[in-house]
Structure 1
Amino acid sequence: MKNSCFKNLNFLFLLAALSVFSLENIAAQEDKTLTREGNNLFKKEKYNEAEISYRKALEKNKNMPEATFNLGDAVYEQKRFDEATKQFEQSAKTATDNSIKAKAFHNLGNSYLSQKKYEEAANAFKSSLKLNPKDADTRYNLAYANAMLHQQQQDQNKQNKDNKNDQKDNKDQQNKDNKKDQNKDNKNNDQQNQNDQQQADNKENKQQQPQPKLSKEDAEKLLQALQNEEQKANQKVQKANAKPANVKVEKDW
């Protein structure tokens, strides 16, 4: 694996062995042949073709540890990290050899690192070191995973704090806007009430408009005129009620 941040993937090679010609051995030779073919293609960085060979080998023998393990390497190099994770989990689960199991956990940790799943990566490296405590690459990768996990947690805490501050700022701004709108509504209501009161006052003033006041001189003139009118009226009444005096007329005979 080409990565300057953490150490390389492990890879399994097949050992040559004496073979006895039989139908069972021929089938076994086919899966090993396909696995070796996949290994050669992998060395040439033909990862897609290597993947095909490993899958064919597993069709012949689904329990073949080398093909299972190296298939994980092939899909990893194609940056299909989720598939690689599942493949290495399977290899670690089914491997009977602790050396292979330790390497599977190491590669599983690398798959998690590539997905920035640092806590899972650290756990995988710890499992590998339990089986092979002296593996320097695994120890290095565990330290790297822990450092990245610490940084990730700090970043998350900062993000949470920033989000909390943003929410507070948004709430404060909303309260400020609401208060501004409320003040505007109150101002409009006050203006409306003032206009209504002004209209009511104008109406009342119109209905109850006082008569203009007379000056003292005008009042005396008006009073004198009223008295004169009253006196004239009284005179007319007296004149009308007056009876003519009885005059005795002597008859001239």
Structure 2
Amino acid sequence: MKLFLIAILLFSFINGFSQKDKQLIRDGNKKYDNTKFDDAELSYRKAIENNPKSFDAAFNLGDALYRQGKYEEAAIQFQALSNEDVDKETLSKVYHNLGNSYIQNKKLKEGIEAYKQSLRLQDKDVETKYNLSQALRMLKQEQQQQQQNQDNKDNKDQNKDQQKQDQQQQQDKKDEKKDQQQQQQPEEQKISKEQAEQMLKSMDNDEKDLQEKLKKQLIKGQKGNVEKDW
């Protein structure tokens, strides 16, 4: 994403802009151009120490922080500058860079709003329009992914609920079968007892029949012996 860097020459006419401020900011800009962003940061901070009201040094410090991946610090820097009383073009650049810092820090909605604010001030800026379109696309993808994740979670929860319901139904069936077996068990024991009594009674009857037969045979044999003695 493109960042706007304020060159010292653009603001050299500002009253109260000391020679030392100019030198420190120029030095920072050279280091920035040579991608020595940490050194550039130090130069801009020295310029701010020398002149706390230096908008230029504060703006370029935000750029140096951004280039080092310090997106949250950069956003804080540009957010503070958005309250400064500067011309529309400069303020538009502040919001552009603020939008970049927010986007890199995964704050898409805040970044989109910053880009929109930048375009309200400079509606023909192509870079800001492009960044806004990309941020909107990223936000849409993020929302779609969040919706997909939510749908997956809902389906997973639904499957868990269904699994619990199936397990409960299986357990209910087991409990019902167990209850039926327990209810049938006394009846089976009662039948077995009746069968046992019937078997005993049948055995008694068989024994009685056997004894009757033996008695009859014994009596018959005794009668035969008496006749023979005569």
- Per the normalisation by structure 1, the TM-score is 0.71
Question: How many correspondences in the alignment?
Answer: 213
Residue matched to 1:33: 23
1:214 to 199, 205, 219: 205
Residue matched to 1:10: 4
Residue matched to 1:68: 58
Q: Is the 8 A contact 1:41 1:47 kept in 2?
A: yes
Distance change >3 Å, CA 164–CA 18, structure 1 → 2: closer
Q: Return the letter of the residue paired with 1:180.
A: Q
1:144 correspondence with 2:152 = no
Distance change >3 Å, CA 204–CA 88, structure 1 → 2: farther
1:176 correspondence with 2:170 = no
Spell out structure 1 runs of 4+ moving beyond 6 A. 203-209
Residue matched to 1:157: 147
Q: Is the 8 A contact 1:72 1:85 kept in 2?
A: yes
Distance change >3 Å, CA 149–CA 214, structure 1 → 2: same
Residue matched to 1:91: 81
Q: Return the letter of the residue paired with 1:139.
A: K
Query: Structure 1 residue 203: deviation in Å?
Result: 6.4
> 204-213 vs 142-151, which deviates more?
204-213
SS of 1:96's equivalent? coil
Please give the root-mean-square deviation of Cα atoms over the aligned residues, in Å.
3.3
Residue matched to 1:105: 95
Query: Structure 1 residue 57: deviation in Å?
Result: 1.5
Distance 2:119 2:14 in 1: 35
Residue matched to 1:135: 125
Residue matched to 2:221: none
Residue matched to 2:225: none
Distance 2:123 2:205 in 1: 121
Residue matched to 1:53: 43
What pairs up with 1:113-128 in 2 under 5 angstroms? 113-128=103-118
Q: Return the letter of the residue paired with 1:78.
A: Q
> 128-137 vs 143-152, which deviates more?
143-152
Distance 1:74 1:95 in 2: 22
Q: Return the letter of the residue paired with 1:138.
A: T
Q: Return the letter of the residue paired with 1:122.
A: I
SS of 1:211's equivalent? helix
User: If you compute each CA radius of gyration, which structure gives the higher value, 1 or 2?
Assistant: 1
